[in-house]
Amino acid sequence: MPPYLQYALYKIYFENGSVNHMRVISGIHKSKALESLEGRNTRPTMDKVKEGIFNSLHEVSGIGLDLFAGSGALGIEALSRGIDQMIFVDQNFKAVKVIKSNLANLDLEAQSEVYKNNADRALKAINKRDIQFDFIFLDPPYNKGLIDKALDQISKFNLLKENGIIVCEFSHNEEITIAPFQMIKRYHYGLTDTLLLEKGE
């Protein structure tokens, strides 16, 4: 299929809100259905991308942050695979409602916190709580520079543990400034790239 046609179909698929069937890939809640959001401002992580991310992480534990959470699919996948606690953040009221519904359906509420806030304010609030994370998931709307801004604050507030990992999902044609973090691995899935980052030397 020509790249231009692939891209056109991708935009139709996601922006028209036709994606509303999602599932947990693995772990204690394997194959269980998740609610998703419809509309042009949400772009659920495709199953093959989600599976690739977590296969590269191998095991997850400790505390995590799903910053641009959407339906909460990445954070819920982490909980299913063994992470102890997850904080979900999204500025969209409908997204927060869907996250809470998904957590309730899977009986994961006790291991989760959900906040309606934008990334900037959320990271400032987290900094005041003196929390550091083992895993941080960044999957914002594409091509808006939001990952760069988030990485800058994560570094400024020292929110990543010494052996922690940041997972970034973004458009294949988007340039990401990762300093002062350093790349562990980069993966390419069609029109989506993912980066695994750790603290720099």
Residue 76 sits in a domain of what CATH number?
Answer: 3.40.50.150
Q: In the predicted model, is pLDDT for residue 12 greater than 80?
A: no
pLDDT above 70 covers a percentage of the chain that reads 85
Q: What is the mean pLDDT of residues 89-101?
A: 95
What pLDDT is recorded for position 5? 46
Going 140 to 168 to 16 to 144, the CA torsion angle's sign is: positive
Q: What is the mean pLDDT of residues 178-185?
A: 94
* H or E stretch at 63: strand 63-66
Q: In the predicted model, is pLDDT for residue 172 greater than 80?
A: yes
C-alpha triplet 62, 89, 161: angle, nearest 5°: 30
What pLDDT is recorded for position 19? 41
Q: What is the mean pLDDT of residues 104-116?
A: 97
Q: What is the mean pLDDT of residues 45-64?
A: 81
Rounded to two decimals, what is the model's pTM?
0.85
When the pLDDT of each residue in the chain is averaged and rounded to a whole number, the result is 85
Q: In the predicted model, is pLDDT for residue 1 greater than 90?
A: no
Q: In the predicted model, is pLDDT for residue 11 greater than 70?
A: no
Minimum mean pLDDT among 56-70, 75-89, 103-117: which range? Answer: 56-70
Phi and psi at residue 82, to the nearest 5°: 125, 0
Structural domain range at position 76: 3-199
Q: What is the mean pLDDT of residues 18-24?
A: 64
pLDDT tens by residue, 126-149 = 999 999 999 999 999 989 999 999
Q: What is the mean pLDDT of residues 18-40?
A: 75
Alpha helices in 47-145 (DSSP H): 47-57, 73-80, 93-105, 119-128
What is the number of domains present in the chain? 1
Q: In the predicted model, is pLDDT for residue 10 greater than 50?
A: no
Long-range contacts of 151-159 (CB under 8 A, 24+ apart): 151/176, 151/177, 151/178, 151/181, 151/197, 153/119, 153/120, 153/123, 153/124, 154/123, 155/180, 155/181, 157/123, 157/124, 157/126, 157/127, 158/132, 159/65, 159/123, 159/126, 159/127, 159/131, 159/132, 159/133
What pLDDT is recorded for position 38? 64
What pLDDT is recorded for position 2? 52
Q: What is the mean pLDDT of residues 167-179?
A: 92
